[in-house]
A and B are shown apart, each in its own frame.
Chain A
Amino acid sequence: MMRVVLPQHLRTLAGTGAEVELAVPAPVTIRRVLDALEARYPMLCGTIREYGTGQRRAFLRFFACEEDWSNESLDAELPEPVTTGREPLLIIGAIAGG
């Protein structure tokens, strides 16, 4: 199982804690993680990636093993500590706004 940390607003929307565990088939990519996340929590559809384009929403970023994966290909394989659940994939909201 891999682990995903959600931003506050998505925790309340999905009714989860800060972290959710997901079974994601290899190769584990951000696209596959999001597919699994949205299948488990359909209310998150459209809130992390845009409908239509499937692209990351502008004010969100992805971090894995202390590296910014936001601009990597959604189909790039995530690092082994994340795919095995030792480290979480972080979905982080931009610190912006009022």
Chain B
Amino acid sequence: MSKVRVLVGTKKGAFVLAADGKRKDWQVSGPFFAGWEIYHMKGSPVNPNRLYASQSTSWHGQVIQRSDDGGATWSPVGNKFAYYGVPGTHQWYDGTPHPWEFKRVWHLEPSLTDAETVLAGVEDAALFKSSDGGTNWEELAGLRGQGAGTDTYAPHWQPGAGGMCLHTIIQDPANPDRIYIAISAAGAFRTDDGGKNWKPINKGLVSGFMPNPTGEVGHCVHHVAMHRARPDVLFMQKHWDVMRSDNAGDSWHEVSGNLPTDFGFAIDVHAHEPETLYVVPIKSDSEHFPLEGKLQVWRSRTGGNEWEPLTAGLPQKDCYVNVLRDAMAVDTLDECGIYFGTSGGQVYASSDAGDTWAPIVRDLPAVMSVEVQTLA
């Protein structure tokens, strides 16, 4: 029987939640790396027992952990993230030049074809690659325009409130040379040559806070999602606005439709229905909690524009948690499971594509990331 393993990164450690395919009875392991912030954990699609975790604190900086037994045991690997060449400057909050400074790894994305290869999205925004299981890291510096023939306007990138982080990495399963990434608050970018050259893919985004609301860069992209079967179709939760691209990001159009608020962080796509999307509407950028204290996932079965609230099993009063950008994931069982974690420490699961929900755990530290592995 199939099993699922949910990897949960929190403000104070990592947890592994496991269940069989019924997804009713859960075994909770952890905390791993107790007391450290775990921005992200993710397993290799090639070897599901190979997991990577990003562990950090303000005291001790960045550590990368690796497991070869599905999270039962871990070993620290390489944590040296050195920017290529002279790092240069980006814009600071006040518009002045500020040197690139490594702070932490926000997201780890294992290769689709090699368990030893993994990408890391970091703050200050850059993309790193390891080809030896996380031991050594090298920047794919073309993203910042270093040694590339294309301009990504990196000196004009500016941090959002959460820092200038590269938080989203999506590999095209049909084209190993194509990678999408997203940065707050620079926007989305794409490479078509394995990371040497990059271009901004932000046409159609409108951000009212920018001096030029339709600028080439500067958009606060919160997250991007893709269905494996249609790698040219992307869905984006921007700071405000839910957006869709049907041409690999060359242009975007808004699909917020009837959402009660189109601010939010998380977005994901059903494992078997490429037009079925999930978001968690959040009231506003100044009030990071659900509208009216009602925690709701909204689902579109039409690729956006037409949305329905999913509330069964979710608190519908006095709920003021947030759901962060990397804290939603789907499994690939026949009836798709949806999972998300909250700033209140709950991890909710639905084993029926969102129709009904139940908490797996209620009292973890604030959840920063959720990933799911579907195991044979």
Interface residues of A (CB under 8 A from B): 7-10, 12-13, 43, 45-48, 50-52, 57-60, 93-94, 96-97
A57 touches B35 (CB 8 A): no
> Are A8 and B80 in touch, CB under 8 angstroms?
no
In the assembled complex, the CB of B74 is this many whole angstroms from the nearest CB of chain A, namely 10
Main secondary structure on B side of the interface with A: loop
Instruction: Please choose the segment from B57-65, B147-155, B232-240, B334-342 that sits at the chain A interface, where 4 or more of its residues have CB less than 8 A away.
Output: B57-65
| Number of A-B residue pairs with CB-CB distance less than 8 Å in the complex they form | 46
Chain B, interface size category, equals 10 to 19
Once A46-B79, A46-B80 are accepted as A-B contacts, the answer to whether A57 and B63 lie under 8 Å apart by CB is no
A43, A60, A96 — most chain B CB neighbours (10 Å): A43
B35 touches A8 (CB 8 A): yes
B61 touches A57 (CB 8 A): yes
Check B58 against A47 for contact (C-beta < 8 Å). Answer: no
Q: How far is the CA of A52 from the CA of B87 in the complex (A)?
A: 12
CA distance A48 to B63 in the complex (A): 12
The 6 closest A-B pairs by CB, nearest first: A47-B60, A43-B76, A59-B59, A93-B59, A46-B79, A51-B80
Asked if B63 and A47 make an inter-chain contact with CB atoms under 8 angstroms apart, the answer reads yes
| Residue B34 lies at the interface, judged by CB distance under 8 Å to chain A | yes
| Chain B residue contacts of A45, Cβ below 8 A | 79-80
B82 at the interface (CB under 8 A from A): yes
Instruction: Tell me the complex Cα distance, A39–B62, Å.
Output: 18
- Whether B80 pairs with A57 at a CB distance below 8 angstroms is no
Output the nearest chain B residue to A51 by Cβ-Cβ distance: B80
Residues 58 to 100 of chain B near chain A (Cβ within 8 Å) = 58-63, 76, 79-82
Residue among B57, B60, B62, B63 with the most chain A CB within 10 A?
Answer: B60
Q: Which residue of B36, B58, B81 has the most chain A CB atoms within 10 A of its CB atom? A: B58
A1 to chain B minimum Cβ distance, whole angstroms, is 25
Q: B36-57, CB under 8 A of A: which get 1 and which 0?
A: 1000000000000000000001
CB of B60 within 8 A of CB of A9, answer yes
Q: Would you call B36 and A47 a contact (CB within 8 A)?
A: no
A9 touches B57 (CB 8 A): yes
CB of B367 to closest CB in A, whole Å: 16
Q: Establish whether residues A57 and B60, one from each chain, have CB atoms under 8 Å apart when the complex forms.
A: yes
Instruction: Name B264-288 residues within 8 Å CB distance of A.
Output: none
What per-residue 1/0 map shows which CB atoms of B272-312 lie under 8 Å from chain A? 00000000000000000000000000000000000000000
